Amino acid sequence: MAAEFAQPLSIARLARMIHRTPLQFLREFSQLLGMTPHAFLVETRVQAARSMMRADTHSLAGIAHDCGFSHQSHMGAAFRKTLGLTPSQYLARIRHTGKQ
């Protein structure tokens, strides 16, 4: 999942890859990592977006697309939930203070 975070992933496909039912996959994944596959995927995408923002090579819309978010506002919602900041606020913070 971490390597293909920008691709659409389904629970059914992931479960088939490890010869489990979708329910078994969800249960085992959550027990092992302490979060659902969706939460893990969103966290991975947010971290990838943060990395791209530090590199300062893409627009926010381009970063959202490259990280697998359906649109920039979807990335914004994930940022607010995960970091308590919008992508623009995060970008301004790292540009002005160097904090990451």
Contact 70, 8 (CB under 8 A): no
How far, in Å, CA of 25 to CA of 11, rounded? 8
pLDDT score of 2: 72
**What pTM value is reported for the model?**
0.83
Domain 11-97 CATH superfamily: Homeodomain-like (1.10.10.60)
Residue-wise pLDDT tens digits, 52-86 = 998 877 899 999 999 999 999 999 999 999 999 99
Task: Pinpoint the alpha helices (H) of 34-86.
Answer: 37-55, 60-66, 72-83
Nearest Cα to Cα of residue 37 among 20, 65, 21, 14: 14
pLDDT band at 89 (very low <50, low <70, confident <90, very high): very high
pLDDT score of 98: 61
Residue 25: strand, helix, or coil? helix
